[in-house]
Amino acid sequence: MNAAEVRLILQSFQPEVGDENDPQFAEALRAAANDPALARWWSEEQAFDRAIAAQLAALPEPFGLKTRILAQQAAPARRFPARWIFGFASAVAVLLLLAFGAGLFRPAPATNLTADYAREMTSFIRLSPQLDMKSNDLGEIKTWLAKNNLQPLSVPDRLAALQPLGCRVLSFRGQDVTLVCFARERNRLAHLFVVDRAALPQMTPGGKPVFANNHGWMTATWAEGDRVYMITMQGGRAALEQYLPSA
Partner 1 sequence: MATLDFEKLVEDFYMPLYRFALSLSRRESDAADLTQQTFFLWASKGHQLRDASKVKTWLFTSLYREFLGRKRQQDRYVEAENNPEAIAAQVVSASVVDQLDGDIVQRALLDLEEIYRAPLTLFYLRQLSYKEIAETLEIPIGTVMSRISRAKEQLRRALADDPRLTPNEKETSR
Contact residues: partner 1, CB under 8 A: 7-9, 11-12, 14, 16-19, 22, 44, 47-49, 51-53, 55-59, 61-62, 65-66, 68-70, 72-74, 76-77, 79, 124, 127-130, 132, 148, 168, 170-171, 173-174
CB of 109 to partner 1, least distance (A): 25
- Cβ distance to partner 1 smaller for residue 22 or 224: 22
CB of 19 to partner 1, least distance (A): 6
DSSP, collapsed to helix, strand or coil, labels residue 240 as helix
Closest CA to 124 of 163, 172, 165: 172
- Cβ distance to partner 1 smaller for residue 29 or 209: 29
Largest CA distance in the chain: 88
- Cβ distance to partner 1 smaller for residue 123 or 243: 123
CB of 91 to partner 1, least distance (A): 27
- Long-range contact list for 182-186, CB < 8 A, 24+ apart? 184/233
- Cβ distance to partner 1 smaller for residue 115 or 169: 169
- Cβ distance to partner 1 smaller for residue 179 or 243: 179
CB of 102 to partner 1, least distance (A): 36
Instruction: Give CA–CA dist 184/20, Å, rounded.
Output: 59
What are the residues whose beta carbons fall under 8 Å from the beta carbon of 90, sequence distance 6 or more?
Answer: none
- Cβ distance to partner 1 smaller for residue 56 or 238: 56
What are the residues whose beta carbons fall under 8 Å from the beta carbon of 116, sequence distance 6 or more?
Answer: 71, 72
CB of 164 to partner 1, least distance (A): 19
233 φ/ψ angles, rounded to the nearest 5 degrees? -160, 160
Instruction: Give CA–CA dist 109/107, Å, rounded.
Output: 6
Closest CA to 130 of 88, 181, 89, 83: 181
CB of 4 to partner 1, least distance (A): 10
Q: Is 194 exposed, middle or buried (CB count within 10 Å of its CB: 0-12, 13-18, 19+)?
A: buried
- Cβ distance to partner 1 smaller for residue 40 or 208: 40
CB of 103 to partner 1, least distance (A): 36
What are the residues whose beta carbons fall under 8 Å from the beta carbon of 173, sequence distance 6 or more?
Answer: 72, 199
